[in-house]
Amino acid sequence: MQNFDYDLFVIGGGSGGVRAARMAAQRGARVALAEVAAMGGTCVNVGCIPKKLYSYAAHYAEAFEESHGFGWAGEAPVFNWEVLKANRAKEITRLNGIYQGLLAGAGVTIITGWATLVDGHTVKVDEKTFTAKNILIATGGTPTVPAVNGREHVLTSDQMFDLTPFPKRLLVVGGGYIACEFASIFNGLGAEVIQVHRGDKLLTGFDDDVRSFVAAEMAKTGVRLQFGAEVAAIGKASDGLTVELKGGASACTVDAVLYATGRVPNTNGLGLEAAGIKLNAKGAIEVNRHYQTSVPSVYALGDVTARLQLTPVALGEAMVVVDHLLGAAAGKKPRSMSYEFVPTAVFTHPNIGTVGFSEADARKEFGKVTVFSADFKALKHTLSGSSERTLMKLLVDDATDRVVGLHMVGPDAGEIVQGFAVAMKAGATKAVFDSTIGIHPTVAEEFVTMREPVKASAAAKT
């Protein structure tokens, strides 16, 4: 039997890699983890966490304005971008330390440096070589920018948290969740924001009513949305960046251009080809249901496999890998991963929360579907003076009465939808929703008080 330096060698210190390394070490495995950057990966350093903190910051401007309707008087405080950046950096450093401590406490050997595969059992980090019975690739994704004329002037989402100075005029290119979130955030913080998208609606893949509704709400807050437009060229000017647009949109001058047109699996420079690891047409690592690659001793999970690019999904996949390699924890069944009814949120202003099928996909999957929907002004805004509205929508499979889609656009949508996701995962029917007592007065109670369908059932569209 071959002797290895480690039982498991993890490449990547993001959420999935850290979870797998820590859980495997706690089960008694000899584990090493290599990471070249700050511990925590995209989510902790330049993704979910700092983005949500900046989203909170951006909400205060509207909160100060809305407070007047509730009897609060006086001028709103002045926003200080440098203070927000410093406080965010301090919190991220704290989280980096927590991740480091969790790994060290579990007995994981942490190796700082760029790791590459030599073969199915060997990893090279800088000039040192390590062997392992199994290797796990968890290197995540990275932003991509198309070959537009002037691309050297653009920014990606990774760079948005430490800009100097604050961009008073920002052009956001893209219509996905990252583009929409940053457009909302910087608009809320006081920038003039133009969002350019080549499609006719934001957020491809989301429910069409959600897509239309959130665009209207974002426009009300001041984001200038330009659909059917693309960037032709970006040039340096004395007063900023001049952006030429095609598709009928006018040229504009801004202080910064954010390209948020997608992320790709972070596979470059890992030595995958030399090790025989197969990639799919999109450049993602191909894996089976156990997250095993074309090389049996090498596994991959998270965004590098391009299944669902969500931190909690990577965490779930990590537990499946650990159980597959080391067996389930005492008294537990081996973990499995389902990609159905995975809830998600988009931290636009207002937020989006969604779980299950869009209406179009539900009709394709189930045929006859009944739709329930509510569009209303929340109680808070009867006094706040805000024109913001809330959208809530349920999709019910006629054959089983099961709720197969649940969507919301409104404050705290993610917090609300998380709880309903549990019910939907358990197969809750519309009858169960109807028999559940609502909490009054809340926005969330609308999901259990919808009685009249807004659209008749229809056969699946071909």
Distance, CA of 65 to CA of 383 (rounded, Å): 11
CA angle 105, 107, 110 (to 5 degrees): 95
Distance, CA of 353 to CA of 149 (rounded, Å): 36
Assess contact for 190 and 213: CB atoms under 8 A.
no
Which is catalytic among the residues 59, 121, 197, 440?
A: 440
| DSSP output for 41-91 | HHHHHHSHHHHHHHHHHHHHHHHHHHGGGGT--SPPPPP-HHHHHHHHHHH
The one-character DSSP state at 7 is E
Q: How far is CA 455 from the centre of its chain?
A: 31
Which residues are within 8 A (CB) of 233 and not within 5 positions of it... i.e. 6 or more apart?
Answer: 148, 149, 150, 243, 244
Specify whether 68 is catalytic. Answer: no
Residues, the chain? 462
Assess contact for 221 and 192: CB atoms under 8 A.
no
User: How buried is residue 45: exposed, middle or buried, by Cβ count under 10 Å (0-12/13-18/19+)?
Assistant: buried
- Closest among 85, 98, 123, 96 to 40, alpha carbons compared: 96
The per-residue b/e assignment along 422-446, b for 16 or more CB within 10 angstroms, e otherwise, is: ebbeeebebeebeeeeeeeeebbeb
Distance, CA of 20 to CA of 41 (rounded, Å): 14
Residue 401, number of CB atoms within 10 A of its CB: 15
Distance, CA of 238 to CA of 135 (rounded, Å): 51
Q: What are phi and psi of 436, to 5 degrees?
A: -85, 130
Distance, CA of 290 to CA of 159 (rounded, Å): 34
Distance, CA of 376 to CA of 379 (rounded, Å): 9
| 3-state secondary structure (DSSP) of residue 232 | strand
| 3-state secondary structure (DSSP) of residue 242 | strand
Distance, CA of 98 to CA of 67 (rounded, Å): 37
Residues recognised as catalytic: 440
